[in-house]
Amino acid sequence: MRPKLYVPSEKEIQRLMDYVNNTEMEIPILLAAFAPMRRGEIAALDSDHIQGNIVHAEYSMALNENNNWIKKSPKSLSGNRYIEFPDFVIEKLKGINGQITLLRQTQISDRFIDIIKRSGLPKFRFHDLRHYSASIQHALGIPDAYIMQRGGWGSDAVLKNVYRHVLEDKAEQMNQIANGYFESLCNTKYNTKKTKPLKIQGFYYADNRT
């Protein structure tokens, strides 16, 4: 069975950003939706890893055998990456010395669940912000290789699931466009009014539209 996947819309992201403006969750949400970074990477990020608009996602926070939070290298080479942030995100990070956020992964998730409930937004996970980022980049025509590098994905399996979900959501709209075109192309046999033939891609079709 296909995994259930939710990709927030642009309107939902805008509504979310308005709701968390100037709160402790604003920066984690910005980093997840527009970088996109994972919770552990966000919790581990410090000002020493930011140079201009370039952010080095080198570490992730994780619990060790003594149940203490420590910084660790990512599980894969693809996770260690340099990301160029948009200006509006960098502006929010200016003036911060040391840890970018004091929140840990579990705190980020718990606070996000509460934000979704109180804001009235459809239920989705903090991690789904990364899906939003991937889907927008795909819609802009950015090649998968660059999307994978930016998000630290080691394969395109996740991206394919995201794209499939987006296509399913758009299916009804796309079907209406296609059917509308076919209707204008091939009129019903009951309409007998003669007009000039319709030329499409070098072929002429009888156009009996009124």
- Provide the residue type at 51 as one letter: Q
Residues 6 or more apart in contact with residue 182 via CB below 8 angstroms: none
> What global pTM score does this model have?
0.76
The whole-angstrom distance between residue 111's C-alpha and the CA centroid of its chain comes to: 20
Which residues have CB under 8 Å from 129's CB, separation 6+? 8, 13, 29, 32, 33, 36
Distance in angstroms (rounded) separating the CA atoms of residues 36 and 1: 27
pLDDT digits (tens, 9 = 90+) for 155-209: 888 788 777 766 666 667 667 877 887 888 776 554 545 555 544 444 444 444 4
Q: Is 40 exposed, middle or buried (CB count within 10 Å of its CB: 0-12, 13-18, 19+)?
A: buried
Closest CA to 126 of 25, 57, 56, 55: 25
- What tens-digit pLDDT sequence spans the chain (210 residues)? 555 678 898 899 999 999 999 999 999 999 999 989 999 999 999 999 999 999 999 999 988 888 888 888 877 778 899 999 999 999 999 999 999 999 999 999 999 999 999 999 999 999 999 999 988 888 888 898 999 999 988 888 878 877 776 666 666 766 787 788 788 877 655 454 555 554 444 444 444 444
Mind listing the domains of the chain with CATH numbers?
A: 10-170 (1.10.443.10)
pLDDT of 95 reads: 92
